[in-house]
Copies of this chain bind each other. A is one copy, B any other.
């Protein structure tokens, strides 16, 4: 008796399971161009900093702008709930581990103060930064006008999963095509998405860029708690396929920003080779001296009142933002000099630009765990 198929499941791949194949031509790393464009804005680094309270505050945003990247301030975090967010952050990072979830739940139940939204945006602008802020879809209609009037440069609308359509009996959801009109040319970045069809539908709403990634990290517990998630290489490849379809249909190029699960220069390179135009880093920047979390890191899903996912983690301070981005690396595990790694990788792939890097060949090559024998770690590199 032949078994009929109830459901087809394709294999999806994460960073740890793929590798990039060198090209047939090599180029000088210093001569690669890694610019990232968001509509008319141009950044010299294809890197965004994640909208997390342990990573981005006003000074971080300004500092990262000056280095060429784009940091996103979370309008629903401590920065816009408290006049003095630094004290609140101090409370979070000094709490014993057993009380963290409860403290996070308490801290994030304070109301968002509209006045602070404008204040923070203007402080970044005054400091000379390019200002990006994030809000969730459900709060976007309440706050977009304040954000716009405060002179924001980029609006990020972000939740764990964001789709063009949201069904509710109790309220009318956000319509992204309307939002894009309201913002009158200010780039709107939306996320997170992981599939071809969702990405394509959002692109048709006129957005400027997509954040790619749901539950990508090995330690982010969204996959354990909800069972939901697509590994980042496949998620990025699917969204890149949507970008190509959309480009062919409309002539408009929507940027992709792979967000989550990037822990090393190698991961960054793989995200770009999978079709990303830029990446968003969280924990890697939480290790920067300039990060407000002082070596601690937590996510916006942690304080969920009934279904918290993930928790506060001590990542440690491991160097300046400059060192993390440009080296010199004092470690050899890929967590420093992300930009040097990207340029070197583009060099061996013969890619002069990020778009050329999209054509790099990749293979499926799972990282093999060796058995802790004497020869572990003895293979040096030539």
Contacts and interface: CB of A to CB of B under 8 A. Distances in A.
Interface of A: 1, 3-7, 9-28, 31, 50-52, 54, 101, 158-170, 192-198, 200-201, 214-231, 234, 237-238, 240-241, 244-245, 259-261, 263-270, 273-275, 282-283, 286, 297-302, 305-311, 313, 315-316, 326-330, 332-335, 337, 340-341, 344-345, 348-350, 352, 361-365, 367-371, 373-382
9 contacts: A6-B237, A13-B365, A19-B227, A19-B229, A24-B165, A225-B332, A226-B341, A231-B365, A313-B380
A370 to B, nearest CB: 5
A371 B368 contact: no
Identify which of A286, A297, A310, A368 gathers the most chain B CB atoms within 10 Å of its CB: A368
A229 B365 contact: yes
A193 B348 CA distance: 11
A263 B379 contact: yes
Contacts of A167: 25-28, 31, 350, 352
Q: How many copies are assembled? A: 4
Contact of A214 (B22, B50, B334): B22
A369 to B, nearest CB: 7
Contact of A302 (B215, B265, B376, B380): B380
B225 A266 contact: yes
Nearest to A136: B382
In the complex, the 6 A-B pairs of residues with the closest C-beta atoms, listed nearest first: A217-B379, A299-B380, A227-B266, A227-B269, A301-B381, A12-B363
A64 B169 CA distance: 30
Given A332-B308, A348-B161, A377-B313, A241 B4 contact: yes
A219 B376 contact: yes
Contact of A350 (B163, B214, B349): B163
Contacts of A23: 163, 198
B329 A307 contact: yes
Contacts of A348: 160-161, 214, 226, 228
A197 B350 CA distance: 14
A207 to B, nearest CB: 15
A330 B101 contact: yes
Given A222-B381, A224-B264, A302-B381, 18 more contacts: A1-B196, A3-B241, A6-B238, A6-B241, A7-B274, A12-B365, A15-B227, A26-B162, A27-B167, A218-B376, A225-B333, A227-B273, A228-B345, A282-B380, A306-B327, A306-B329, A307-B328, A310-B332
A332 B231 contact: no
A198 B348 CA distance: 12
